[in-house]
Structure 1
Amino acid sequence: MTPEMENAFAAIRNEYGPDSIARVEEMMAAGKQQRHPLQGGAKWILPGISQQPWHDPYGHPELAPVVHAFESHHAAVKKELEDAWADRRTAFSDYEHYLSRQSDWQALYLFRKGALVAESAESVPTAFDVLKREAVDTGKLCPLLECHFSTLLPGASIAPHCDLWNFSINLHLAVDIPEGCGITVAGETRTWQEGKCLLFDYSFEHEAWNRGPRPRTCLLVDLWHPETTVPERQALVALITAIRTLMGEG
């Protein structure tokens, strides 16, 4: 570990106790952590997190208010998204997933690189406000990742892959869903119900597609996994931020 990481970890232990980040330290130990076979492509697996691909969106007391807030504002979110897609297309960009870019997968970011994207408040104010109030200000959003409208054009697909880790969890608000769309996580396929949320652990292999006649849009929100603790979240932010700095990612 770098001196900065050691100092950050020491400060967390001093505040929360000597064993408060033991799982994070175990994760960092040499060798691949025990994992489900369908998590094989993930880089980091925090020990002790349930090996459960799909989650009940209303089943976690910490996350349920976020789910209810987005669902209750779906109509306004969809209208603002439609207006932005029609009138402010330059606000969307090709989605970059790790080292690849897809022109048939468009994104409008609300949170990126550790901060809210202020310009998005003008295009999609309702989603921006709900995200800020329910996820950012409450500390439920994982700041290491992002939140964006994810638009798959007709005929587009997202190849099977695992995301980087299991200590955050992915919320999908189904904003505009044509027929012929679906998502598979750990071998189980589901469809989005417009106005409702799906919640899943994206360290498990997953893929998605749009075989419908018009774009499919979901609002994707990266939240802390509810089985992580406050000190673990602080340690994970320090760890990943330091790694990204060492790799020149800023």
Structure 2
Amino acid sequence: MTPEIDNAFALVKEEYGADSIERVERMLQPKNERHPLQKGAKWIMPGISQQPWHDPYGHPELEPIIRAFEANHAAIKQEMETAWAEQRGEFSDYEHYLTRQQNWQALYLFRKGALVEASQPTAPTAYKVLKEYAVDTEKLCPLLESHFSTLLPGARIAPHCDLWNFSINLHLAVDIPEDCGITVAGETRTWEEGKCLLFDYSFEHEAWNSGSRPRTALLMDLWHPDTTVPERKALVALITEVRKLMGES
């Protein structure tokens, strides 16, 4: 802990109560217990449900986001087809915190704590829905991002755990060929075009595209519905300070 983190935590406690961020503080203690399939994650906050796959419509806080994206799928898919055909330079190799893959392409809508305004003309429908339903409502975790994820034919994302369990990953299936899928905590599912998948990506997961054309999904990192507003404020302060100490922008 640093004085900056101590001060930020004190302000949250002053506003919401002394016990309001108890789980965040427990997360920072040694020997924090976790599920074996979360062993590769850096941060595991106690009290978050140890459930890898979630019903996309099972959380009232997140359901409006999911419904809005699914309702706008046709327009989102058309805009991505046009972008892939005519504006390929807008896409870049995806830079995961563990690796960088040329056969995993990304177009970012939200990154480094802000909407990527340069992407609005390329993906106006997705940008609008993301802003109105996830960013303006503060359901998107600002510590992470939202991007179109395109796996080229033959691409495979190796098994890994993402950084923590206090956000949850939403996939809108935009353009889905045959022979692609995703496994989370040993359970494999496929994307259904126009529908969403929701899962806790602190559990070990992998994905692949063995099809003959690119697979595109729109990914976004939302606050896990098991977290509270004071916890979210404390977590933003904590991770922001940690990144600063590590020299990350």
Map 1:192-207; keep pairs closer than 5 Å.
Answer: 192-207=191-206
Report what 1:227 is aligned to. Answer: 226
- Within 5 Å, which residues of 2 pair with 1:1-250? 1-31=1-31, 33-250=32-249
Q: Distance in 2 between matches of 1:127 and 1:79?
A: 11
- SS for the counterpart of 1:143 is coil
Q: CA deviation at 1:5?
A: 1.1
CA distance in structure 2 between the partners assigned to 1:200 and 1:140 by the alignment: 15
Q: Which runs of 5+ in 2 are unaligned?
A: none
- CA deviation string 1:144-175 (max 9, x = no partner): 00000000000000000000000000000000
TM-aligned CA deviation for residue 30 of structure 1: 2.2
Cα distance in 2 for partners of 1:227, 1:98 equals 25
Could you list the structure 1 runs, at least 4 aligned residues long, displaced by more than 2 angstroms after superposition: none
- Cα deviation digits, residues 194-215 of structure 1 (max 9, x gap): 0000000000000000000100
Q: Secondary structure at the match of 2:197?
A: strand
1:42-80 Cα distance to aligned partner (Å, 9 max, x none): 010000001000000000000000000000000000000
Superposed CA RMSD in Å reads 0.6
Indicate the larger mover: 196-205 or 1-10. Answer: 1-10
Does the residue aligned with 1:212 lie in a helix, a strand or coil?
Answer: coil
State the percentage of identical aligned residues. Answer: 76
Q: Which amino acid aligns with 2:14?
A: N
Aligned partner letter, 1:37: P
| Aligned-partner Cα distance in 1 for 2:213–2:15 | 52
Structure 1 spans left out of the alignment, 5+ residues: none
Mapped to 2, the partners of 1:39 and 1:5 lie a distance apart of 25
Task: Give the TM-score normalised by the residue count of structure 1.
Answer: 0.99
Matched residue type, 2:228: T
**Alpha-carbon distance in structure 1 between the residues aligned to 2:196 and 2:127:** 17
Deviation at 1:99, TM superposition (A): 3.9
| In 2, Cα distance between equivalents of 1:34 and 1:130 | 37
Superposition TM-score, scaled by structure 2 size? 0.99
1:122 match: secondary structure: coil
CA drift at 1:4: 1.3
CA distance in 2, matches of 1:229, 1:99: 28
**Cα deviations across residues 116-155 of structure 1 (Å, max 9, x unaligned)?**
0000101000000000000000000000000000000000
Whole-Å separation in 2 of the counterparts to 1:8 and 1:96: 30
CA distance in 2, matches of 1:164, 1:221: 15
